């Protein structure tokens, strides 16, 4: 099943996507977080052409930061060796976690806000995201699949100089407002064989990243087990699972995103993100100098 959050007649609604049609659930079903928590309605869906709606980020209500996994494809970890401005680390033996502010999230076709006063090093990262559907703490790996509501795509747009500026801590360099596409759909686990999902990214039509989810260093089940160890995961939580090699920072010379670039992230069975980098006033009157 493919689920989407859409804007229909100036109202946010959720529904089930079937080809060119979305079947809108009754308003009483709530938003996507309610569906993750309470289950998907069995009936009462109102058919509407997808062409009549605007597809939004599937999760619109966050109770916490977006949870993220770093260095979860070994080829990505290795491509950055010697390119982290002296902030080198050993290959991790457990998943590396950080968070991203919810205000960074945008829809699958929204513009990526870009301001060179904020950063000179804007980068792309194609990722698969997991949506939690069952609240739990210290979840065993074998039971992790029971806690998955579905999967979607993300583009973890990053500002590499901000990452380095703040001691190598990733929060700031991952949290710039309206910069992280999410969507287009949430695909339930019965719809796809996750290890076979092919993840790609393109910048202005040029292939930059290409990998299968089976190449993850730590599986989604391991990520959920480690992240929930002593820490409650809630229905509706979003977890990014890492990016494969091919990022702009690791190229020789590095290739950064700039104004008017188009970035496309695809995942077989998951859909497509298509976003343009558009100039915005993010720095405003700040006196911080990068």
85 belongs to a structural domain? yes
pLDDT recorded at residue 86 = 66
Last residue of a domain, one of 55, 78, 94: 55
Instruction: Provide the H-helix boundaries in the chain.
Output: 32-38, 74-79, 160-165, 220-227
Cα gap 74→226, rounded to integer Å: 18
Check pLDDT > 80 for residue 85: no
pLDDT recorded at residue 231 = 98
Query: Does one domain contain both 164 and 37?
Result: no
Cα–Cα distances in Å, from 140 out to 98, 219, 227, 229, 233?
A: 21, 13, 11, 9, 13
Query: Does one domain contain both 104 and 195?
Result: yes
Check: pTM over 0.75? Answer yes or no: yes
170 belongs to a structural domain? yes
Query: pLDDT by residue (tens digit) across 35-61?
Result: 999 999 987 677 999 999 999 999 999
Give the mean pLDDT of 169-197: 97
285 belongs to a structural domain? no
218 belongs to a structural domain? yes
Query: Does one domain contain both 197 and 147?
Result: yes
Query: pLDDT by residue (tens digit) across 225-281?
Result: 999 999 999 999 999 999 999 999 999 999 999 999 999 999 999 999 999 999 999
Query: Does one domain contain both 15 and 146?
Result: no
Give the mean pLDDT of 28-39: 96
Cα gap 168→210, rounded to integer Å: 26
Query: Does one domain contain both 106 and 238?
Result: yes
178 belongs to a structural domain? yes
Mean of the per-residue pLDDT values of the chain: 96
Domain CATH number, residue 251: 3.90.850.10
Nearest C-alpha neighbor of 243 from the set 279, 210, 284? 210
230 belongs to a structural domain? yes
Query: Does one domain contain both 35 and 159?
Result: no
Domain CATH number, residue 22: 2.30.30
Q: Is 240 left (phi over 0), alpha (psi -120 to 50) or beta?
A: beta
290 belongs to a structural domain? no
- Domain range for 238 is 66-279
Query: Does one domain contain both 30 and 150?
Result: no
246 burial (CB, 10 Å; 0-12 / 13-18 / 19+) is: buried
Query: Does one domain contain both 72 and 50?
Result: no
Query: Does one domain contain both 241 and 104?
Result: yes
Query: Does one domain contain both 229 and 258?
Result: yes
Query: Does one domain contain both 8 and 120?
Result: no
Q: CB-based contacts of 147: which residues, under 8 Å, 6+ apart?
A: 132, 133, 134, 135, 136, 139, 224, 228, 233
> Dihedrals φ, ψ of 28, to 5°?
-65, -15
pLDDT recorded at residue 84 = 73
Query: pLDDT by residue (tens digit) across 191-219?
Result: 999 999 999 999 999 999 999 999 999 99
User: How many structural domains comprise the chain?
Assistant: 2
Query: Does one domain contain both 23 and 98?
Result: no
Of 31-35, 68-72, 89-93, 141-145, the range with the lowest mean pLDDT is: 89-93
- DSSP letter string, 146-183: GGEEEEEEEE--EEHHHHHHTTT-SSGGG--TT-EEEE
pLDDT recorded at residue 42 = 83
pLDDT recorded at residue 45 = 77
Last residue of a domain, one of 11, 26, 55: 55
Cα gap 4→27, rounded to integer Å: 14
């Amino acid at each position: 099943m493919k689920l989407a959050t859409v804007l229909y007649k100036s109202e946010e609604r959720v529904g089930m996507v079937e080809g060119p049609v979305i079947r809108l659930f009754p308003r009483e079903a709530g938003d996507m977080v309610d569906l993750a928590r309470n289950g998907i309605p069995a009936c009462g869906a109102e058919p509407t052409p997808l062409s009549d709606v605007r597809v939004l980020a599937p999760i619109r209500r966050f109770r916490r930061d977006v949870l993220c996994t770093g260095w979860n494809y070994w080829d990505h970890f290795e491509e950055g060796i010697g390119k982290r401005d002296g902030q080198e680390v050993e290959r991790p033996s457990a998943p590396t976690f950080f968070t991203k502010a919810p205000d960074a999230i945008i829809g699958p076709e929204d513009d990526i806000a870009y301001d060179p006063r904020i950063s000179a090093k804007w980068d792309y990262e194609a990722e698969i995201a997991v949506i939690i559907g069952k609240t739990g703490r210290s979840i065993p790996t074998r039971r992790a699949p029971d806690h998955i509501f579905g999967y979607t795509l993300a583009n973890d747009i990053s500002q590499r100089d901000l990452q380095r500026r703040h001691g190598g801590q990733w929060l700031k360099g991952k949290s710039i407002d309206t910069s992280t596409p999410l969507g287009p759909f949430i695909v339930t686990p019965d719809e796809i064989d996750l290890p076979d999902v092919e993840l790609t990214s393109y910048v202005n039509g040029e292939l930059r990243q290409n990998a299968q989810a089976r190449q993850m260093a730590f599986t989604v089940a391991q990520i959920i087990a480690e992240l929930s160890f002593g820490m409650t995961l809630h229905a509706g939580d979003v977890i990014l699972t890492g990016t494969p090699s091919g990022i702009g920072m690791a190229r020789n010379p590095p290739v950064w995103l700039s104004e008017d670039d188009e970035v496309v992230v695809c995942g077989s069975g998951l859909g497509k993100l298509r976003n343009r980098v558009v100039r915005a006033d993010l720095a405003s009157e700040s006196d911080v100098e990068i």
